Structure 1
């Protein structure tokens, strides 16, 4: 009877997920019995995403600064999970608007898969239970594999197969690590005192190795090296609104789970994170230098961005992951704005190759200015919010170096600054080609003022939040662990 009451009470606390799950079932019926050219799947999906976002925002408005344990500890509801679910909902809304503005004629199954990704990531954001983490990661991953192949072209199938193979390998490694943890502690919740008791009796090196194995599945979702091999091909061939959503949502929720692992403090994962950070920064930046395809370049730069975000998760005596969470908040408009820009450039030239953008900014100066602002934000230059994000994570390194007395963190600071400098070359290459270089045959430009206005909103947000960052900083402070 007590167990039944616990289930009923817990079920009442996850209204947004229930609304989303019921809506997904309704969408299946609409897709199955509706006409293929019907716009009803889009409309229903947009309403579901909007309802999910609003319910996350207002249903928990009276939640105190405490965590609520649900389903006997399988789920945990707190301000942090609500914050990340809000970002998840906002990114999905941007996906819907993006696809509509560019008149993508997606089949209903695409919206079904997007909703499945949201549902999986939503559960992933509020758990410290190994089994729930694995199931949620798989739900989001399998839906993502199918989304990549949805264009039904040979290149998409090849990229989706590569995505699937590396995803399956990462999941297998993660599950293998989980099995060892369960064998050690006989519990699947890494915040359980029993789990902490038994892991502390084992060799720290063994626990670090197992932590690396478990975190492998999450690093795959974050697109961090060495779990990154799928990134360039998937980014290049996937439809732009889809990859725009997938470039942010899984990365953000993956960062949250890694932060929960660091907060649990059952292992010193700083050495693991340092390895991943160094690999991600150096490989992502150096590989991006040689790219001639914009979406492929954004893919490699996303690997480097994952490295910068993970810097904010390095744990010290007084770490609260403020830098990482602030970076994630700013990464939403920056990366989705970059892909919106990429889609406008493709619409004008029919190509994702950088050389085909020669002189395009000269034809329409506002497009060139927007490109400058967005690329400066990706680098982390003032006066954009990207500068504030980089400043936050680099400040956390200095604090760690002082607190732990280790020169490694000062070395990481220098290494990170050098990599930020390297990124100037390939990011500013985009506006340089658009504004400075001249094509032999001047490109024809047919301006779409609505798209230009929306792109300008992205750019203005990056500038406004630099001068008035209080909204973001206060929001982050309110949702820290």
Structure 2
């Protein structure tokens, strides 16, 4: 009996072997940081961090090819490894590499402790992609949350501490709400795995409205990570005060994993949760777009717009007969170069004018036309205008709305389509305000703090990807089709 259980544990450990090796690598990093007595080791830490992130990306690619379309369960259902989880682990690793390169190019001084906390967050994100068990979700989500609170406060300024405390308070509140939902689910089903047959058998004995309410409570923790309303209150202060490279990562990776986990939950649920998703999506679109209109700080503007972007992505999670979440996953993949490119643009602009205020960008594009062109492309992508990936992302999501109304003659879907298009139109004003100030407005006295052609050229790589894959999206589309939950 004991021998059989040990064999099962060893077999299950093989499923998460990349994470086990990663943990050992993280422990080595901890030892290097703890016993390093020399200063100015930023380069060494960055190289070690890139090696760890690179390992995660390579292991994700190899595991994806090895696993194929199969699904493996480990540790008696605590861990579920499928193509979707492996793909999102690869996205997390790619985002981490981009962030680490961002840090290196702009010469951010990060302590060794930063890298330890950062990779602890990545470990939590990886486990979130591989589970449908409430206990693992809670532990992994707390690993991500606590690490993020620390990263937001990493520079130890008053503004950082204030943002970190607000983030902690809202995060703790949301966690309590989520745990309350989990406890109610456990009371209904006596199960903690929402993909088990027993869970659904007991759940069907309960009232549909009560299940929707409990689902909303549980999903609150994931909506918080996706920066979706009404769990968005942390966004403006965190975005304004957090170092830009860290912000570029936490604006994408936790959101991507949260969207994937919400999709997994919706797919497993036997009842329709469209009312919950519609409510959060509409609130996110309204609050995010109209709050962004009044912002003068580019980082706060991107923060509020991120709330609106979550609203668009959630539309792709509305459940109907033929929905396989293609729209949401396709949007999330395209969101990677767009959002991380936008924060790279913010740092390039800051390096030149030493300000995050949009008005200070007056005439900057006239002095540096390549930078102005990059700003136009990236901001057009965020709006969703052709010829950029952002247009394809919104087109696929809006197409999914059309598919809904063909299956069910419901005027709600027509209203949602019109509402989404109007919100996309509203975003034109605040997104294109950045290139407008850069290329149209003029400034009489103009002194650049820096004119770095190399960084502008690196920024052009993001713009090239955004435009190139608009004309050749077949590769991305094929990959996304292969990692969907429903075939």
- With normalisation by structure 2, the TM-score equals 0.98
Find the aligned partners of 1:19 and 1:450 in 2 and give their Cα distance.
36
1:37 corresponds to which of 35, 40, 48? 40
In the alignment, structure 1 residue 451 sits paired with structure 2 residue 455: yes
Instruction: State the distance in 1 between where 2:225 and 2:54 align.
Output: 24
1:390 to 375, 378, 394: 394
**Aligned positions of 1:350-361 closer than 5 A:** 350-361=354-365
Aligned residue runs from structure 1 range 118-197, under 5 A: 118-197=122-201
1:17 deviation in Å?
A: 0.9
| Structure 2 runs not aligned, ≥5 long | none
Relative to structure 2, which stretch is displaced further, 435-444 or 324-333?
435-444
Structure 1 CA distance, aligned partners of 2:113 and 2:225?
22
Aligned pairs for 1:296-315 (under 5 A) are 296-315=300-319
Q: Is 1:286 matched with 2:290?
A: yes
> Is contact 2:384-2:424 (8 Å) kept?
yes
| Counterpart in the other structure of 1:238 | 242
Number of residue pairs the alignment of both structures matches: 481
Of 16, 26, 34, 1:24 maps to 26
In structure 2, the partner of 1:221 is 225
**Aligned residues of 2:351 and 2:450 also touching (Cα < 8 A):** no
Task: Tell me if structure 2 keeps the 8 A contact 1:30–1:40.
Answer: no
Once residues 172 and 269 of structure 1 are traced to their aligned partners in structure 2, the CA distance between those partners, rounded to angstroms, is: 21
Picking from 325, 331, 345, the partner of 1:327 is 331
CA drift at 1:22: 1.0
Instruction: State how far apart, in whole Å, the 1-side matches of 2:114 and 2:418 are.
Output: 43
Check conservation: 2:85, 2:129, Cα contact below 8 A: yes
Per-residue deviation, 1:63: 1.1
- Superposition deviation, residue 304 in structure 1: 0.1
Distance 2:181 2:444 in 1: 57
Deviation at 1:62, TM superposition (A): 1.9
Match for residue 264 of structure 1? 268
Q: Is contact 1:85-1:122 (8 Å) kept?
A: yes
Distance in 2 of aligned mates of 1:333 and 1:287: 24
Equivalent residue, structure 2, for 1:461: 465
For the 8 Å contact 2:195–2:268, the answer to whether it is kept is: yes
Cα deviation, 1:223-280, whole Å, max 9, x if unaligned, reads 0000000001000010000000000000000000000011002332110000000000
Give the structure 2 partner of residue 115 of structure 1.
119
Q: Within the alignment, does 1:427 sit opposite 2:431 as a pair?
A: yes
Deviations for 1:27-47, whole angstroms, at most 9, x for unmatched residues?
Answer: 111111112422322221111
Which of 46, 70, 74 aligns to 2:50? It is 46
Distance in 2, Cα, partners of 1:56 & 1:7: 22
| Aligned equivalent of 1:368 | 372
1:127 and 1:363 map into 2 onto residues whose CA distance is 51
Structure 2 distance, partners of 1:458, 1:64, is: 30
Alpha carbons 1:15, 1:55 under 8 Å: kept: no
Corresponding position of 1:408: 412
How far the C-alpha of 1:5 sits from its partner, in A, is 1.7
Q: Deviations over 1:29-76 (max 9, x none)?
A: 111111242232222111111111101111342213121111111111
1:208 aligned residue: 212
Report how far residue 445 of structure 1 moved. Answer: 5.9
Query: How much does 1:173 deviate?
Result: 0.4
Quote the offset at 1:288 in angstroms. Answer: 0.1
Partner SS for 1:266:
coil
CA contact (8 A) 2:60 2:89 kept: yes
Partner in structure 1 of residue 484 of structure 2: 480
Distance 1:162 1:182 in 2: 30
3-state SS of paired residue (1:62) = helix
Structure 2 counterpart of 1:101, from 105, 110, 130: 105
**Can you give the 5+ residue segments of structure 1 that lack an aligned partner in the other structure?**
none
